[in-house]
Structure 1
Amino acid sequence: MDYPTLGRSGLKVSRACLGAMNFGTSGGVASCDESEAGRIVDAFLEAGHTFFDTADAYTGGRSEEILGRAIGRRRDSVVLATKAFLPQGPGPNDRGLSRAHLTRALEASLRRLGTDYIDLYQCHQWDHGTPIEETLATLDGFVRAGKVRYIGCSNFTASQIVESAWAAERLGVTAFTSLQPQYSLVVRDVEAEILPACERHGLGAMVWSPLAGGVLTGRYARGVAPAADSRMGRLMASPAPMARAWADGLLHERALGIADEVGRVAAELGTTSTAVAIAWVRRRPGVTSVVIGPRTVEQLHGTLAGFALDLPAEAAERLDEVSRSAALTPVNGMPPGSIRERVRS
């Protein structure tokens, strides 16, 4: 089993990270009940993986509670990550990355997880209303108090990663160890500037949605509405506009074409589309760990197969080609064909 270090830290994590977003009930619908969640955690640990990720906002805090109980006495044998930012109440200070909110959010997460420390405490997204200096100073205080071991961020842009790194150096406080970005064959935008920024500033990438919301599993077909119990079906039926928009951004003709090629590669290799999609993303430059979110033990085993699959170079090149887009070109302000562009090429 391979346990790389996360960014420039000494924290060793497994290549697979079990995301607990599905643990509990959301909107009256049980994604994964506590009994099945316990079996998933047991099977994940038995397979040799040790990295877990959740957030205070997942299923109204139930995800943290269920994950904490499932880990139980094995707490010191795992790497436990959670996140804060999203609303935890109706008040103006019940969200964001301010000292006021983060201090309460951390204590609540520790209580729900049933632990006195968190290995990786992450900012769920950038807070435009709070200076990053305030956020980093607050997180540094958590580290100094022993309540948090390492800090990370999620869904930051390249410029936000750079700004955070500069602020941490200027203040002499703990810097981010990791970034959690979306990354898959369907969504490769991070390759242009975000992953290079992570490499430059010492952040390890633990990528989420490697199956593009299930699109890359081959579950969805053209002209057929997603099943109500599928990930896309639940997102499209969600009252939250952001959830519906995210589904629309993944379930389109280009994505289905990529899924078709994934299916062809899987058939040639005698494996599944899920395994192929995972094998592709886990070997990408800059990727430390891949966050997976199974709802059943069977889904877990199917996903973990991708961490053992040795994807042939020819197959990887085919997938690179079918999924490549103009978004992979960094923005430098120079028009195509300019002198600077020709020199660089």
Structure 2
Amino acid sequence: MNKIGDLDVFPLCMGGNVFGWTAGKERSFEILDAYAAAGGNFIDTSDSYMASAPGNSGGESETIIGEWTETRGNRDDVVIATKVGRHPERRGLSPANIRAAADDSLRRLRTDRIDLYFTHFDDPSVPVEEIMKTLDELVTEGKVRQIAVSNIEIDRLQASLEFAEREGTAQYTAIQPHYNLVSRDTYEGPRRDLAERYGLAAVPYYGLASGFLTGKYRPGANVDSVRAEKAARYLETERGNRVLAALDIVAEEQDTAVATVALAWLAAQPTVAAPIASARTMDQLPPLIDAARTTLTDDQLARLTEASA
């Protein structure tokens, strides 16, 4: 297990963005059961998942996860991360909205506390001081155990961290950046330096670059996926093809899947506690679980780092 503050988390976070979208309730339960059976305990979701899907209104993923923990009786065994700020009826980070959204999430998740509560996207119209005070109140009230941050400009992130340190409020313990082998500058550099300075654990999203880093997107391949267009764009770049070639070599050396290697590289990077990856079918799950148990050699890490530069 790895640490996020005082939370013990499995080194691979199960992404809940497909639950209630490309994975229905029954399939989602199967995936969560298999993940838990493999030792997994860290689930990421949001109050806005999957509001954009036809017939949905937002919160479907939270509802499925809440029903799963209730029927399995395992709420105390899992770490649930969810987010605020993007639900169609709860947009923004005003104090009143954060409070209402937290109560909504607690109800859908069928729980009395959120283990890790992320601000999904920053709301520049609200001073960071107000956001941090409101999150601190939720921690004090026991509705939230720890707070975290996702998409935010670095100056606002630094101001938030400095305020919490100065005023003694609850401090962010985690950051959820867009980060993978073909998108490194979205986290590496000043943002990661700030995370290191304040002890933030990184929980990267798009760890497999919308599926591109599974290796299934190749010239001429026809992949049946709602993310196919987004993933295939990486094939149009020299960097994307370099990374695929390096992944193929390391995957063969490790006798494992390309996706496993891509996530193992990410897990080995400074500050990273657990990459997020999602599975919409049962056969997509084993390579993700294997990433939590795979250690790349120094030479393999260097090969991938060089290819992705």
TM-score normalised by length of structure 2? 0.91
- Structure-2 residue corresponding to 1:217: 214
- Residues 1:61 and 2:63 are matched in the alignment: no
Select which of 32, 51, 57 maps to 1:41: 32
Task: Determine helix, strand or coil for the equivalent of 2:274.
Answer: strand
- Structure-2 residue corresponding to 1:51: 42
Deviation at 1:307, TM superposition (A): 1.8
Equivalent runs, 1:143-222 vs 2, <5 Å: 143-189=139-185, 190-222=187-219
Select which of 246, 263, 270 maps to 2:248: 263
Contact 2:217 2:232 in 1 (8 A): no
Contact 1:215 1:256 in 2 (8 A): no
Instruction: Give the whole-Å Cα distance in 2 for the aligned partners of 1:220 and 1:282.
Output: 22
Task: Determine helix, strand or coil for the equivalent of 1:288.
Answer: coil
Alignment deviations for residues 30-58 of structure 1 (CA, whole Å, 9 cap, x no partner): x0011111111111111112111100000
- Residues 1:279 and 2:264 are matched in the alignment: yes
Instruction: Give the whole-Å Cα distance in 1 for the aligned partners of 2:2 and 2:296.
Output: 20
Alignment deviations for residues 222-279 of structure 1 (CA, whole Å, 9 cap, x no partner): 3x4753x32433xx4xxxxxxx6xx587453122331222122212332211111111
Which region of structure 1 is more displaced relative to structure 2, 181-190 or 256-265?
256-265
Contact 1:117 1:148 in 2 (8 A): yes
Structure 1 stretches of 4+ with a deviation exceeding 4 A read: 247-251
- Structure-1 residue corresponding to 2:122: 126
What RMSD over aligned residues (CA atoms) do the two structures have, in Å? 1.7
Runs (5+) with no aligned partner, structure 1: 26-30, 237-243, 325-345
Contact 1:278 1:303 in 2 (8 A): yes
Q: Number of aligned pairs?
A: 298
Alignment deviations for residues 65-104 of structure 1 (CA, whole Å, 9 cap, x no partner): 0011112220011111100111423xxxx31111121111
Select which of 68, 71, 87 maps to 2:69: 71
Instruction: Give the whole-Å Cα distance in 1 for the aligned partners of 2:226 and 2:207.
Output: 14
Contact 1:161 1:198 in 2 (8 A): no
Instruction: Give the whole-Å Cα distance in 2 for the aligned partners of 1:307 and 1:252.
Output: 30
Alignment deviations for residues 92-121 of structure 1 (CA, whole Å, 9 cap, x no partner): xx3111112111111111111111111111
Contact 1:185 1:258 in 2 (8 A): yes
Structure (1 or 2) with the larger CA radius of gyration: 1
Task: Determine helix, strand or coil for the equivalent of 1:57.
Answer: coil
Give the residue type in structure 2 aligned to 1:276: V
Instruction: Give the whole-Å Cα distance in 1 for the aligned partners of 2:18 and 2:211.
Output: 14
- Structure-2 residue corresponding to 1:330: none
Give the residue type in structure 2 aligned to 1:78: V
Instruction: Give the whole-Å Cα distance in 2 for the aligned partners of 1:308 and 1:169.
Output: 35
Percent identity over the alignment? 38
Instruction: Give the whole-Å Cα distance in 2 for the aligned partners of 1:249 and 1:166.
Output: 39
Instruction: Give the whole-Å Cα distance in 1 for the aligned partners of 2:292 and 2:165.
Output: 36
Runs (5+) with no aligned partner, structure 2: 51-57
Instruction: Give the whole-Å Cα distance in 2 for the aligned partners of 1:136 and 1:198.
Output: 17
Instruction: Give the whole-Å Cα distance in 2 for the aligned partners of 1:159 and 1:249.
Output: 31
Give the residue type in structure 2 aligned to 1:201: Y
- Residues 1:80 and 2:77 are matched in the alignment: no
Contact 2:129 2:163 in 1 (8 A): yes
**Does the C-alpha gap of structure 1 residues 226 and 171 become closer, same or farther in structure 2, counting only changes over 3 Å?**
farther
Task: Determine helix, strand or coil for the equivalent of 1:35.
Answer: helix
Give the residue type in structure 2 aligned to 1:199: E
Contact 2:174 2:201 in 1 (8 A): yes
Give the residue type in structure 1 aligned to 2:236: H
- Structure-2 residue corresponding to 1:318: 303
Select which of 14, 21, 24 maps to 2:17: 21
- Structure-1 residue corresponding to 2:236: 252
**Does the C-alpha gap of structure 1 residues 95 and 195 become closer, same or farther in structure 2, counting only changes over 3 Å?**
same
Instruction: Give the whole-Å Cα distance in 2 for the aligned partners of 1:291 and 1:87.
Output: 20
Contact 2:212 2:232 in 1 (8 A): no
Instruction: Give the whole-Å Cα distance in 2 for the aligned partners of 1:265 and 1:52.
Output: 28
**Does the C-alpha gap of structure 1 residues 147 and 191 become closer, same or farther in structure 2, counting only changes over 3 Å?**
same
Deviation at 1:135, TM superposition (A): 0.7
Give the residue type in structure 2 aligned to 1:130: V
